[in-house]
């Protein structure tokens, strides 16, 4: 198992300058290799306009990481005479990143890579060889050329794994994000051995905006709305930025120091909101995985829902996709099961008591009243109970399949019933009484 350990760094001014230099070196190598590849492709296209074909054309350039790095080493004296100031791994990471980007473009997973801007590109650099790793204590890490860099938090957990021989550090990625320098260690760990779960504790989770999550047990997890609470301070700092002289690429006007300070205040607010949101989501998902054996959620089309300009900010602040991502990997590690209901599964329209489905249910109707059995429930609670019933049915179906028949499948791939014919589940009334 490959796992990442992210540590916030606290470098001194000289180390911060060296980090920026390494990230800039990675960008220079990336842009130089990309220009070489594009020049080769343009040359072949020009030769084809003259009627040249086959072996008459200029050979294709090799875009592997090894070939790009070899070409860079041959030309670095002329391209970057200052190359010795940084570690060779900075340039190697730029060549490797371009090779990966071109491979993704060839496979159809991404578009053609573009040149990295000096102002807008993210500062990042990866080290795979050399003197890098953890420091002599639990408060420092070691980077090539840069040296020992202090961390804001302890590296005790990773240090214990390395000293016990149960972890191997593969690489460390240096990056500047959220106003701080970070070091991310890629560590190879033994595959986790999840504990056997009885699958007796089932829960349905209905995600929302008014409440972050409503459980089938009746518990409601309130939405902290960190971004809304920070809007007053955020607007104040953004107005201050608007009143001061900012950067203008068209006229090449440099921003004033007062603008930089105001922009830094706004960035700190965004960073604090992101950290609070991430901590709340981790606490929620960890608690769900520990307390329940089977968890059912909906497959929400977040990218489509966020197009609603009236709800876009609150949907983004709720981070539904991040909740699903965390539940996915945490259930795999702990042995729990995650069921993702089909996107068209009528969890809100279906009665949790008798299984009757409504043709329409407006978003303004916050209470589900069934005309068949007369049960009245909160809309979100009703949806969560339906998800829990779906999880219980799927778990029972998997347990009843004999071993070795080849028909078992992961519960995370299970989908809900078609929306035209939602099956009736008589045992749901018992779940309501619980």
Q: Which residue has the tokens 């069921």?
A: 339
Nearest to 345 by CA among 304, 390, 285, 396: 390
**Could you tell me which residues come within 8 angstroms of residue 270 by beta carbon, excluding any fewer than 6 positions away?**
178, 234
The single residue of 89, 337, 380, 393 carrying the catalytic annotation is: 380
Nearest to 199 by CA among 399, 413, 355: 399
Contact call for residues 174 and 18 (beta carbons, < 8 A): no
Distance (Å, whole) CA 17 – CA 223: 40
Distance (Å, whole) CA 44 – CA 154: 54
Half-sphere exposure of 226 (CA within 13 A, CB side): 17
Distance (Å, whole) CA 144 – CA 15: 11
The single residue of 206, 293, 337, 393 carrying the catalytic annotation is: 206
Measuring CA to CA, how many Å separate 125 from each of 21, 93, 96, 328? 10, 6, 11, 29
Distance (Å, whole) CA 322 – CA 301: 13
Distance (Å, whole) CA 423 – CA 149: 60
Residue 380 catalytic?
yes
Q: In 10 A of CB 170, how many CB atoms? A: 11
The single residue of 293, 298, 337, 393 carrying the catalytic annotation is: 298
Beta strands in 59-156 (DSSP E): 124-127, 133-134, 140-143, 147-150
Helix (H/G/I), strand (E/B), else coil: 166: coil
Contact call for residues 171 and 5 (beta carbons, < 8 A): no
Alpha helices in 80-155 (DSSP H): 88-106
**Could you tell me which residues come within 8 angstroms of residue 4 by beta carbon, excluding any fewer than 6 positions away?**
184, 185, 186, 187
Nearest to 339 by CA among 265, 390, 288: 390
Distance (Å, whole) CA 217 – CA 204: 8
Tokens at 293, concatenated: 């054996």
Residue 206 catalytic?
yes
Catalytic residues: 206, 298, 380
């Amino acid at each position: 198992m490959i796992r990442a350990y992210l540590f916030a760094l606290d470098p001194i001014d000289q180390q911060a300058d060296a980090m920026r230099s390494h990230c800039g070196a990675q960008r220079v190598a990336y842009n130089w290799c990309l220009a070489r590849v594009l020049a080769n492709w343009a040359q072949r296209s020009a030769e084809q306009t003259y009627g040249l074909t086959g072996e008459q054309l200029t050979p294709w350039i090799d875009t592997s990481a090894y070939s790009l790095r070899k070409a860079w080493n041959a030309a670095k004296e002329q391209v970057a005479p200052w190359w010795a100031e940084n570690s060779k791994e900075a340039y190697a990471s730029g060549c490797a990143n371009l090779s990966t980007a071109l491979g993704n473009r060839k496979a159809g997973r991404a578009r053609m890579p573009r040149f990295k801007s000096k102002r807008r590109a993210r500062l990042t650099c990866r080290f795979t060889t050399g003197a890098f790793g953890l420091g002599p204590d639990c408060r420092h890490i070691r980077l090539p050329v840069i040296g020992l860099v202090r961390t804001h938090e302890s590296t005790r957990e990773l240090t214990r794994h390395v000293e016990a021989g149960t972890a191997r550090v593969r690489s460390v990625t240096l990056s500047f994000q959220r106003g701080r320098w970070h070091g991310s260690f890629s560590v190879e760990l033994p595959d986790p051995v999840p504990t056997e779960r009885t699958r007796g504790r089932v829960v349905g989770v209905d995600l929302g905006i008014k409440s972050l999550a409503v459980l089938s047990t009746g518990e409601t997890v309130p939405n902290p709305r960190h971004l809304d609470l920070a809007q007053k301070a955020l607007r104040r700092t953004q107005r201050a930025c608007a009143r001061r002289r900012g950067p203008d690429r068209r006229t090449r006007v440099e921003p004033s120091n007062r603008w930089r300070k105001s922009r830094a205040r706004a960035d700190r607010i965004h960073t604090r909101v992101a950290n609070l949101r991430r901590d709340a989501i981790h606490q929620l998902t960890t608690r769900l995985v520990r307390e329940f054996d089977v968890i059912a959620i909906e497959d929400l089309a977040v990218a489509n829902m966020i197009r609603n300009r009236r709800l876009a900010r609150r949907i983004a602040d709720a981070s539904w996709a991040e909740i699903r991502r965390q539940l996915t990997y945490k259930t795999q590690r702990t042995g729990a099961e995650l069921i993702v209901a089909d996107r068209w599964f009528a969890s809100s329209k279906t009665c949790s008591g008798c299984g009757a489905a409504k043709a329409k249910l407006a978003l303004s109707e916050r209470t589900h009243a069934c005309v068949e059995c007369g049960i009245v429930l909160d809309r979100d609670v009703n949806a969560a109970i339906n998800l829990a019933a779906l999880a219980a049915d799927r778990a029972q179906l998997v347990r009843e399949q004999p071993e070795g028949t080849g028909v078992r499948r992961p519960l995370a791939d299970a989908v809900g019933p078609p929306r035209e014919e939602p099956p009736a589940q008589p045992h749901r009334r018992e779940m309501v009484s619980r």
